[in-house]
Amino acid sequence: MDESHQSDPLRRARLRWRARRGLLENDLIFERFFSRYEHDLSDADVAALTRLLELSDNELMDLLLARTEPEGDLATPDVRRLLEMLRSV
- pLDDT digits over 26-79, tens only? 888 999 999 999 888 898 998 999 999 999 999 999 999 999 999 999 999 999
Q: How far is CA 61 from CA 30, 41, 86, in A?
A: 11, 21, 11
> 8, 38 in Cβ contact below 8 A?
no
Domain ranges of the chain: 42-89
Q: Give the pLDDT score at 83.
A: 96
pLDDT of residue 2: 42
| pTM for this prediction | 0.77
Position 80 pLDDT exceeds 70:
yes
Q: pLDDT band for 19, please (50, 70, 90 cuts).
A: confident
